[in-house]
Amino acid sequence: MNGLGGLNKSENGLVIGLVQLQLPVVETKAQLTAQTARVVELVAKARRNLATMDLVVFPEYMLHGLSMDTNPEIMCSMDGAEVAALKQACIDNAIWGCFSIMEANPGGNPYNTGLIIDDTGEVQLYYRKMHPWVPVEPWEPGDTGIPVCTGPGGAKIGLIICHDGMFPEMAREAAYKGAEIMIRTAGYTAPIREAWRFTNRANSFCNLMVTANVCMCGSDGTFDSMGEGMIVDFDGSVLAHGQTGRPDEIITAEVRPDLVREARLGWGVENNPYQFGHRGYVAVKGGAQDCPYTYMTDLAAGAYRVPWEDDVAVTDGTVCGFPAPSRSFGEKDPS
């Protein structure tokens, strides 16, 4: 049930719009400014398109395209013109928005940053992509953790970006922090289509969580992004799916955070987020609450190492034309 794409909004519903944004080419400051204006236009289109819409979501790379260009001229800042324009668009159209910027990072590579801005122009969630799509992407690994904010109607919303969603731990962390809806923005191209579909559904079901997922769309003359806007309910069923590949189409559905809460409280079978930390509670009071997972304890100890570690062939970005890094995580570039 999705309220006919959100046309019929229920008392406890939240209507989401996913913009399958045309993949742009952005090489100059002027092109960045023009692409920002295009996104602002589409925020207004979303509001005109559906008066009931609460939150409009744009894909990763919405301002920069897929060139992986780290030219400082086309990087954004939180106090810059691009973010100011996005804030004003949310105010002017009385709508919440989820946006993507490539953010300047003095002393390191730029961050791939996601923002959720409310209908008064305030940033409610700020997230730096934890898992850049190596070896293709040059972005600094994120250091914000996985934040969750309170969104329209009191819904708890988390945000991850693209490759993040291929790690089940990311969705679980969002759910563990209380997210009832998890947004996943992406720039993925067609070879990832099937993995995109089944990970979106798995992320929802495994965490009793609505997911709202959208990619860039169309071609920039080199890459072909796939759109594939997907809104998936907490039981893994697909509420809406943009399969036409039409650039700038807005995929919409109503979701019900109240039913997520109901399931998390009332389900016995497959109440996965709770049961993960309460193993076998039928046999032992409260269930086992230990951590039997070696990869977790090793990672926490800074000793993560897969059995095939020494034989991994690709461990930096040189295969994609990037220089081998010399900094360790957390160190600044002295230049």
Residue 129 bears catalytic tag: yes
Say if CB 159 and CB 177 are below 8 A apart: no
Q: Are strands 224-226 and 217-219 parallel, antiparallel or unpaired?
A: antiparallel
Q: Which residues pair with 111 in a beta bridge?
A: 103
CA distances from 108 to 44, 102, 161, 173, 222 (A): 35, 13, 20, 26, 28
- pLDDT-above-70 percentage for the chain: 99
Whether the per-residue pLDDT at 1 is higher than 70: the answer is no
CB neighbours of 18 closer than 8 A, spacing ≥ 6?
57, 212, 213, 214, 229, 230, 231, 240, 242, 250, 251, 252
Residue of 60, 82, 173, 228 marked catalytic: 60
Catalytic residue among 76, 87, 103, 129: 129
Q: What is the mean pLDDT of residues 198-215?
A: 98
Domain 3-275 has CATH 3.30.450.270: no
pLDDT more than 90, % of the chain: 95
Which pLDDT value is given to residue 334?
Answer: 79
Parse the chain into domains and list their residue ranges.
Answer: 3-275
pLDDT at 12 over 80: yes
* Least confident residue range of 27-31, 74-78, 138-142, 327-331: 327-331
20-51 tens-digit pLDDT = 999 999 999 999 999 999 999 999 999 999 99
pLDDT of residue 94: 98
Active-site residue, from 76, 149, 162, 215: 162
Is the predicted pLDDT of residue 171 greater than 90, yes or no?
Answer: yes
Instruction: Note if 162 is an active site residue.
Output: yes
Confidence of residue 244 (pLDDT cuts 50, 70, 90): confident
Position 233 pLDDT exceeds 90: yes
Q: How far is CA 184 from the centre of its chain?
A: 3
| Confidence label for 333 from pLDDT (cuts 50, 70 and 90) | confident
Q: What is the pLDDT of residues 267-284, one digit of tens each?
A: 999 999 999 999 999 999
pLDDT of residue 5: 87
- The enclosing H or E element of 257 equals helix 257-266
**pTM of the predicted model over 0.85:** yes
Q: Is it the case that residue 199 has pLDDT exceeding 60? A: yes
pLDDT of residue 185: 98
Distance set, CA 182 to CA 11, 16, 226, 251, 259 (Å): 21, 12, 20, 16, 15
* Sequence-distant contacts of 47-50: CB under 8 A, at least 24 apart: 47/93, 47/94, 47/95, 49/17, 49/250, 49/252, 50/5, 50/6, 50/7, 50/15, 50/17, 50/250, 50/252
